[in-house]
Amino acid sequence: MKRSWELAQMKRAPVAVGRVQPKQATRPRPYKTLAVVSPRRLVAASSPPPPSPPIDRKRFLAKVSLFGMALPDPAAVGYPSFKLILVGDGGTGKTTFVKRHITGEFEKRYEPTIGVEVRPLDFHTSRGKLRFCCWDTAGQEKFGGLRDGYYIHGHCAIIMFDVTSHLTYKNVPTWHKDICRVCDNIPIVLCGNKVDMKNRQVKAKMVTFHRKKNLQYYEISAKSNYNFEKPFLYLARKLTGDMNLRFVEELALLPADVTIDLIALQKIETEIAAAAAMPLPDEDEDGLMD
């Protein structure tokens, strides 16, 4: 009872409260005034940026350095090295042509080259060892914008077409023009590949572009190893200035996948000789213009 009474008294007793500070009224946060943007500034902000000034082509080509690939350095390998540009439409046999020399094998399945592939190719000659750094470029149109960079400082070039395809030969002038635009006055070889095929469409008499542009021309076959060394031998002679230079070691090529019989070889040689003796037409049979 006593405990209950004490609790009751405590509830009745006044509670001492200190001086209560009057609560300050919170002032409303002022709204930020929005600046009025003129219609001209809105139009300027939404309009596309002005076009960039045109690129100096010569300066761009002089500065470009693709994938860190250095030019052939004779001092690094100890013997002459040359940059060889290998061009032509896709499927004409460019990559097979190079791999046949390096590994001796023939690529039966076509795999398009992406961008560019650089492969060193060494030859033993009567003047000593020399190297071609073969820049095997993609023939597909989607890689066309990259090609100029691949051609820089090229020492020589091979343009390849497929004798079973009219279109690949009709595109030869475009490849030639692209090379000459970047590389001035370099030796160029034109190669008609797949002469072992039965369904040849580009006859020897139709191949006249090399005569108009003073290029060396060879008909070759990757499958049969026909004339396979001649493009490199010609370029080696032109680059060294020794027209008596010869290869002193044969390449370790695997046996040919197909063989061209003697009669077929004689026919090819006869057609080439007859075509060379014909007067040069103003326009090819394909409608190929200069």
Query: Which of 189, 212, 223 lies closest to 284 in space, CA to CA?
Result: 212
Residues 6+ apart with CB under 8 A from 245: 125, 126, 127, 233, 236, 237
Residue 209 has phi, psi (to 5 degrees) of: -60, -40
Query: How much is the pLDDT for 192?
Result: 96
Q: Decide: helix, strand or coil at residue 81.
A: strand
Query: How much is the pLDDT for 289?
Result: 46
Residues 6+ apart with CB under 8 A from 181: 148
Q: Which two tokens stand for residue 153?
A: 């400082």
Query: Which of 191, 225, 195 lies closest to 105 in space, CA to CA?
Result: 225
Q: Decide: helix, strand or coil at residue 26.
A: coil
The one-letter code for the residue type at 133 is C
Q: Concatenate the DSSP letters of all residues of 102-147 into one string.
A: HTS----S-----SEEEEEEEEEETTEEEEEEEEEE--SGGGGGGH
Positions in the chain short of pLDDT 50: 17-18, 33-34, 37, 39, 42-45, 49, 52-70, 106, 108, 141-144, 284-287, 289-290
Query: How much is the pLDDT for 156?
Result: 97
* Tally of residues, the chain: 290
Q: Which two tokens stand for residue 14?
A: 């006044």
Pairing of strands 81-88, 116-125: unpaired
Using the structure block, give the residue that is written with the tokens 């209560």: 20
Residue 281 has phi, psi (to 5 degrees) of: -75, 160
Where residue 240 falls (left for φ over 0; alpha for ψ -120 to 50; beta otherwise) is alpha
Query: How much is the pLDDT for 231?
Result: 96
Query: How much is the pLDDT for 282?
Result: 67
Query: How much is the pLDDT for 51?
Result: 53
pLDDT in tens, 179-209: 999 998 999 999 999 998 889 999 999 999 9
What's the chain's Rg over C-alpha atoms? 38
Q: Decide: helix, strand or coil at residue 156.
A: strand
Q: Concatenate the DSSP letters of all residues of 37-78 into one string.
A: PPHHHHHHHHSPPPPPPPP-HHHHHHH---TTPPPP-HHHHT
82/135 Cα distance (integer angstroms)? 11
Q: Which two tokens stand for residue 210?
A: 């090399």
Q: Which two tokens stand for residue 283?
A: 């326009």
pTM (predicted TM-score): 0.66
Residue 220 has phi, psi (to 5 degrees) of: -130, 170
Query: How much is the pLDDT for 77?
Result: 72
151/147 Cα distance (integer angstroms)? 6
**What structural domains and CATH numbers belong to the chain?**
72-277 (3.40.50.300)
The one-letter code for the residue type at 215 is L
